[in-house]
């Protein structure tokens, strides 16, 4: 049924037909890739290379090379004749090399993907093993191990740090990173709208990150985490857009800032507190849509959020910018983005960090990128960022970089 294909695309990144052999570097595998796709098994494999450097300011001025491998397999059990409406998504990923996230002096990584799935760990880790069962074109449940970077969807500021912006401040709202781990066991349900896109999603999660383990031994040992997202389509001025409202909650005991690959913070003890929460919003609004292809266009985006002061190093967050596809003929596959963010540091966490790092204020950042499709399987992205660290004794960092993503 057609709605099952749409649901698969929304939840598992599933592609109903195999891409052409020229869309991937390794081609069609002598026809096997297309044959597997026809039977419900598809592969989305890529490697992202980062060459970035702090040209001035920050903690250290140097350039570094690193990267990230992302290997996703999607299975449609309906096409396999096992169970109609049942899908499986498996993601294996690893990082390699070095990056400058710790050299800028900022708490938010300038290339979040380069630190995933776990900082200082080069092993290939399974961060997704997620089953989705669709019961109708309006309702589906999911369960298993999942990574949460695909949440907080925004048409112009998302992309996991490899197709749009690189800075975590534009990939997702960092206000929620304290309460929701990157990769862990969980389950939930989704109410679907037109096209199979989730309108409301509710998720119950293990409250600690288990990217490097199966997670069963730690399951709910320290409490529980929950998140809920409502993403409503809009048609302002007859142009498509979305309004997203969400909240997170976690009742684990916090005794340290901890090490999260999505935030550059030292692992220092804090006054013990129980539970943490966040509320956030994002929007995207198209200003132009290609009359020949409704999937291409450009517009503006915005994010905002607040969180508790006791456990979260960020108490509020705000960002906005422009992004989308290049409307110029011959460059329709290229994308661009320009964004600004400000991250307000918690008054409670500030004194803890100030003992180790010096005076703490609010962090700011600007990022500009242009994503050029050099070939159907290669995108090259020059990137410029100006980062004002929350650490007041660290100078503003100018970060120059080049990202290359190869689809295998």
Question: Structural domains in the chain?
Answer: 2-407 (2.40.160.180)
Say whether pLDDT at 68 is over 70. Answer: yes
Q: Are 372 and 335 in contact (CB under 8 A)?
A: no
For residue range 139-191, list pLDDT tens digits in order: 999 999 999 999 999 999 999 999 999 999 999 999 999 999 999 999 999 99
Distance, C-alpha 136 to centroid of its chain: 27
Query: Average pLDDT of 116-142?
Result: 94
Query: Average pLDDT of 297-308?
Result: 96
Q: Are 395 and 358 in contact (CB under 8 A)?
A: no
Of the ranges 2-16, 19-33, 115-129, which one carries the lowest mean pLDDT score? Answer: 2-16
CA dihedral in degrees (151, 122, 185, 168; nearest 10)? Answer: -20
The pLDDT, as a whole number, for residue 21 is 53
What is d(CA 209, CA 183) in angstroms, rounded to the nearest whole number?
5
Q: How confident is the model at residue 8 (pLDDT cuts 50, 70, 90)?
A: low
The pLDDT, as a whole number, for residue 7 is 53
Q: What pTM, to 2 d.p., does this model score?
A: 0.91
- CB-count burial class (<10 Å; 0-12, 13-18, 19+) for 171: buried
- Residue of 15, 3, 8, 12 lying closest to 195 (CA atoms): 3
Q: How many CA atoms lie within 13 A of 314 on its CB side?
A: 30
- Residue of 260, 254, 266, 261 lying closest to 354 (CA atoms): 266
Which DSSP string corresponds to 204-264?
Answer: EE-SS--TTS-STTTTTTT--EEEEEEEEEE-GGG--EEEEEEEEEEEEEEEE---BTTB-
The pLDDT, as a whole number, for residue 384 is 98
Strand partners, 249: 226, 277
- Residue of 150, 168, 162, 158 lying closest to 68 (CA atoms): 162
Say whether pLDDT at 246 is over 60. Answer: yes
């Amino acid at each position: 049924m057609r709605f099952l294909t749409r649901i698969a695309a929304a939840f598992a990144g599933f592609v109903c037909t195999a891409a052409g052999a020229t869309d991937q570097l390794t081609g069609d595998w002598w026809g096997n890739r297309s044959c597997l796709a026809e039977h419900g098994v598809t592969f989305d494999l890529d490697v992202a290379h980062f060459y970035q450097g702090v040209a001035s300011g920050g903690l250290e001025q140097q350039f570094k090379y690193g990267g990230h491998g992302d290997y996703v397999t999607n299975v449609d059990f309906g096409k396999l004749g096992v169970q109609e409406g049942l899908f499986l998504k498996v993601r294996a990923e690893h990082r390699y090399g070095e990056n400058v996230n710790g050299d800028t002096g900022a708490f938010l990584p300038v290339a979040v993907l380069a630190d995933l799935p776990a900082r200082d760990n080069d092993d290939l880790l399974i961060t997704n093993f997620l089953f989705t069962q669709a019961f109708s074109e309006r309702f589906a449940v999911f369960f298993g191990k999942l990574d949460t970077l695909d949440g907080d969807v925004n048409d112009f500021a998302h992309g996991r740090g490899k197709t749009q912006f690189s800075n975590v401040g534009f990939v997702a709202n960092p206000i929620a990173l304290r309460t929701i781990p990157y990769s862990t066991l969980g389950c939930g349900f989704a109410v679907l709208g037109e096209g199979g896109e989730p309108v409301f999603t509710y998720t119950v999660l293990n409250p600690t990150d288990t990217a490097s383990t199966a997670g069963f031994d730690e399951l709910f040992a320290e409490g529980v985490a929950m998140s809920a997202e409502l993403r409503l389509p809009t048609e302002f001025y007859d142009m498509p857009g979305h309004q997203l409202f969400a909240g997170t909650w976690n009742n684990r005991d916090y005794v340290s800032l901890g090490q999260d690959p999505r935030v550059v913070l030292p692992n220092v003890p804090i006054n013990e507190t129980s539970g943490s929460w966040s509320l956030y919003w994002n929007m995207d609004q198209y200003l132009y849509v290609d009359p020949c292809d409704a999937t291409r266009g450009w517009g503006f985006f915005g994010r905002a959020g607040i969180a508790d002061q006791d456990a979260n190093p960020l108490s509020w967050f705000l960002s906005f910018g422009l992004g989308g596809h290049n409307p110029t003929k011959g460059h329709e596959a290229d994308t661009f983005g320009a964004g600004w963010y400000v991250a307000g540091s918690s008054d409670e966490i500030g004194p803890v960090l100030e003992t180790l790092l010096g005076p703490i204020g609010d962090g700011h950042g600007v990022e500009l990128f242009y994503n050029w499709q050099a070939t159907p399987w290669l995108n090259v992205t020059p990137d410029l960022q100006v980062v004002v660290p929350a650490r007041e004794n660290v100078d503003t960092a100018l970060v120059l970089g080049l990202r290359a993503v190869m689809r295998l």
